[in-house]
Amino acid sequence: MSVQTADQAIATPAAAAPFDAEAARKSAPVQMVLWTMCFLHFANDLLQSLMSAILPILKDNFHLDYAQTSLIVSVYMAFASLIQPFVGMYTDKRPSPWALSTSMIATAAGVAMLTFAGTYQLVLLAAVFIGIGSAIFHPEGSRMTRLAGGNRPGVAQATFQVGGNFGQASGPLLAAFVIVPFGQSGIGWFVLVALLAYVIMLMVGRWAAPRIHAQTRSARATSAEDNPYGLTRGRLIFLITILLILMFSKSVYSVSLSTFYTFYLMEKFAIPLRDAQLYLFLFMGSVAAGVYFGGPIGDRIGRKYVIWISILGALPFTLILPYANLMGSAVLTVIIGFIMSASMSQIMVYAMELAPRKVGVMSGLFFGFGFGIAGVAATALGYLVDRTSLEFVYKVCSFLPLIGLATVFLPDLRKKYGN
């Protein structure tokens, strides 16, 4: 099958010729759809990153301590994590091309609510709605990406995830230039982003409709790919657990930076909020770059090796970070972000390759776990900061990449199973 043109990729009607699901799996990626999903992930995570980007403003507006401030992030991440696996489980059994667009309705409601929130409780409620939007978007976004990815699942997932990382990176940057000058009311401009994303999601749903229906028929006809490597249930659970442990180390370290890095820079180096937001943007941008380059490398040399290099390779730099000056901190966080993020898409694709008929469950589980553990960690680290210091917390977190040693238990699927 040849790669579709832009018009064909997005505007394929539901009444088109029968779609061959097996041929699509072996074909080249549908680039227009992949980059559209990249943009939608950008828009989705841009809106969600506002929760972290405006924490200093909310802290001042509502006179919060660090624990109360981090609870805002925890509530958002808790709802995003708890619901995601169930969304994936439901849509694996009853896939719908229109499920993706419903996520943006919840996110738009949360952003609008955050704009006009006059109490701390209403801010928490806005975090709930944004979390629900995230819970629906990520498993369904991964499903659409998998449909369009063809024979390059690593590249496809990396393209999808890099959009989210750029969205997260842009949140602090736009907050510095749009929200900081206008205060909390400046968030309202981002409702327009939500409306644009909603319209594009409807178009992607139209493209996906015949493909999802064909894939559903194919799944009913055969179950040969439910367990392509012939793993026992116990072995499969063990490998998924190892992947979750690796996700734990990355998520907790990432949330320590995304939640407290601006406070750390402002406190230790006495720089203004806008400058601190720009440094956070540099870190988030390096994360996005690492995700993108990790995808094709994983397709070429194997996902296990990318995971090895990504997690353990960041350890020397995380250990140095708490002792660096301002310029050194900026350089080190860029290096850390780039190296650690290279395996983000590879952990996800590795899990999907273990259970290819459970794309929604795997996506929901790993995105959900990442959000959930990050939310718990944000609250725990907030309490720890209140009782010690920001610098002490970064010294403790600097050892997290050691958990990457657990990669030794992962088999190289290509070498061991001839895939």
Residue from 362, 368, 95 nearest 205 by CA: 95
Mean pLDDT to the nearest integer, 3-22: 42
User: Given this model, what pLDDT does residue 219 score?
Assistant: 56
Residue from 236, 220, 219, 155 nearest 413 by CA: 236
Name the least confident of 162-171, 315-324, 401-410. 162-171
CA dihedral (295, 240, 52, 201) in degrees, to 10, reads: 60
Q: Is the pLDDT of residue 20 over 70?
A: no
Measured CA distances, 145 to 40, 163, 232, 397 (Å) = 11, 12, 28, 33
Mean pLDDT to the nearest integer, 350-373: 80
Collect all residues with Cβ–Cβ distance below 8 Å to 24 and sequence separation of at least 6: 1, 147, 150, 211
Q: What is the DSSP letter of 222?
A: -
**Could you tell me the two tokens for 122?**
């209403």
End-to-end CA distance of the chain: 21
CA 44 to CA 164: how far, in whole Å?
7
Name the least confident of 62-66, 67-71, 84-88, 374-378. 374-378
> What is the DSSP track for 249-311?
HHHHHHHHHHHHHHHHHHHHH---HHHHHHHHHHHHHHHHHHHHHHHHHHHHH-HHHHHHHHH
Name the least confident of 32-46, 231-245, 302-316, 345-359. 345-359
CA 311 to CA 235: how far, in whole Å?
23
Alpha carbons within 13 angstroms on the beta-carbon side of residue 194 total 23
Query: Is the CB of residue 171 less than 8 Å from the CB of residue 44?
Result: no
Percent of the chain exceeding pLDDT 90 equals 22
Query: Is the CB of residue 47 less than 8 Å from the CB of residue 111?
Result: yes
Kindly list the domain boundaries of the chain, sorted by start residue: 23-221+228-417
Q: What is the DSSP letter of 55?
A: H
User: Buried b / exposed e across 117-156, counting CB within 10 Å, b at 16+?
Assistant: beebeebbbbbbbbbbbbbbbbbbbbbbbbbbbbebbbbb
User: Given this model, what pLDDT does residue 38 score?
Assistant: 93
55-69, 182-196, 307-321 — most confident range: 307-321
**Could you tell me the two tokens for 228?**
């392509």
Q: How far is CA 161 from the centre of its chain?
A: 6
Residue from 361, 337, 393 nearest 237 by CA: 361
Q: What is the DSSP letter of 3?
A: P
Q: Is the pLDDT of residue 129 over 70?
A: yes
Q: Is the pLDDT of residue 6 over 50?
A: no
Mean pLDDT to the nearest integer, 241-267: 88
CA 37 to CA 150: how far, in whole Å?
14
Residue from 302, 358, 377 nearest 143 by CA: 358
CATH of domain 23-221+228-417: 1.20.1250.20
Answer with the residue of higher pLDDT: 397 or 155. Answer: 397
pTM: 0.68
User: Given this model, what pLDDT does residue 214 score?
Assistant: 76
User: Buried b / exposed e across 20-32, counting CB within 10 Å, b at 16+?
Assistant: ebeebbebebbbb
Residue 243 backbone dihedrals phi, psi, to 5 degrees: -60, -40
Measured CA distances, 5 to 17, 162, 291, 297 (Å) = 16, 22, 26, 26
Helical packing angle, 99-116 and 191-221, nearest 10° = 150
Q: Is the pLDDT of residue 223 over 70?
A: no
Q: Is the pLDDT of residue 62 over 60?
A: yes
Name the least confident of 158-162, 222-226, 276-280. 222-226
N residues, the chain: 419
**Could you tell me the two tokens for 364?**
């929901």
Q: What is the pLDDT of the chain when averaged over all its residues?
A: 81
74-83, 154-163, 331-340 — most confident range: 331-340
Residue from 302, 298, 314 nearest 411 by CA: 302
Residue from 101, 31, 3, 41 nearest 348 by CA: 41
